[in-house]
Amino acid sequence: MSDSDKFLLETIKSFYNDSTHSDVVLDVNGDKYYLLLPLIKKYAPLLHKEIEETPVNPPVTSPELSEVLSNITTLFSKLQNKKSVTLPNISVTKEVISVVFETMYGKPLEISTNLASVYVLSTRFGMDHLTTQCVEKFRKDSVNLDTLLEDYKKVVTSGSPLVKLWAQVLQENLWYFPEDKLMEFVAKLSYDDLFKLLNNPTLESYSDRMYELIVHWNSVNGDTSKMASLLGLVKLENLSIDILTTKVKHNPFVSQEAYINALEMQLNSNHRVNGLTRTMFGIGRLNGYYHNYRLLTKAEVETSKFKDLFVKTYTKFKAIYCLDTFGADVVCCVTHPLIVMDGWWLRMENDAVDVAKGTMVQLSATNRTAKETLENISTIVVGVREIYSSAQNTGLFVWDQIKFD
């Protein structure tokens, strides 16, 4: 750090709890803290919001006006409208409150035995830089995956101020545990605790497991009045086709309308990436690897389920999603090229074409237009001969979660 940077940092630190150069006064448990709103807005946005929502007090003019007039800086600070805000319900020591506020002025804070208090304040005030430190310190010093489930139950029972932090760590590691152990743990939770635990967007990618946990919880506790709200935490459209069609379809707590909408979203693949539609089917390099996709096999392409889904998807979008940027040509499964219209290769429009990742491209049969190919896409089959030409370089991929057996 340069000398000028050090000077600037020390200057900023000096403004902490300075009644002259502050523009807001916070009253916490009877103690007053003189702070600067621009720093609060940047480093504690939730506290800033609370202050902004508090009515402004009338301006207070200093009785020492003659002295103030001799110094324009002092005049400005003493005649300005200082906002006074009382913060209720803060059961934290004065020492911790002070060191937390000081971090907004550049003073570092070492988190140790004060972790719980710092975490409570940082989450209330929206001080993400401190919350992150608390979480990292907590993970390092307090978390043991082997005892995490039991530890979480104890914390919930005790009413610890760190319940949210324990819940966050458990959510991050929820799928670490064997299914039977997780089912046993969930069955013993109250409705409120289960709801709080599963009410997290980061769990959306585990929708199948969430659904199974909720159904199991209900089978043990028998509280059907809570099922609608619990199942509302599950994005049905993220469930696998297998779960949707074998379990959700007959679940009395899921409306037919919700089931049909979810199924249609799966079939129509209304998923978006960077503002573009990403279908359940995509094309990429024949030897490429694409996260959450797999290259279709000959056996899969020959199933009626594949044909139904592919035809519905391609007919809807009239194009297919590109998983990569490359020179694409004939579309293939793992071992064979795909053909349509009684023997014509399924390929890019105008044969070999440079395609771009994240775009949609039309397919065309050899010597046929894209429009003709679209009208006859239901004739798609596996070619007789295995891959033999360098033109057969494009793979047809499908979401990993889609099963055709």
Q: How much is the pLDDT for 393?
A: 93
The pLDDT of residue 319 is above 80: yes
Q: How much is the pLDDT for 16?
A: 85
CA 72 – CA 68 distance, rounded (Å): 7
Q: How much is the pLDDT for 81?
A: 63
Q: What does the pLDDT look like over 34-80, one tens digit per residue?
A: 998 889 999 999 999 988 887 654 444 444 444 433 443 443 444 45
Q: How much is the pLDDT for 395?
A: 96
What fold characterizes domain 3-107?
Potassium Channel Kv1.1; Chain A (3.30.710)
Q: What is the pTM of this model?
A: 0.51
Sheet containing 363-365: which strands, arranged edge to edge?
363-365, 344-348, 338-340, 381-382
267 CA to centre of own chain:
23
CA 322 – CA 288 distance, rounded (Å): 12
- Among 55-64, 107-116, 332-341, whose mean pLDDT is lowest? 55-64
SS3 12: helix
Residue ranges of domains in the chain: 3-107, 143-267, 272-399
CA 319 – CA 61 distance, rounded (Å): 71
Residues 6+ apart with CB under 8 A from 31: 94, 97
In sequence order, the β-bridge partners of residue 354 are 327
The pLDDT of residue 146 is above 90: no
CA 235 – CA 123 distance, rounded (Å): 27
Mean pLDDT value of segment 258-285 = 66
Under 8 Å between Cβ of 339 and 345: yes
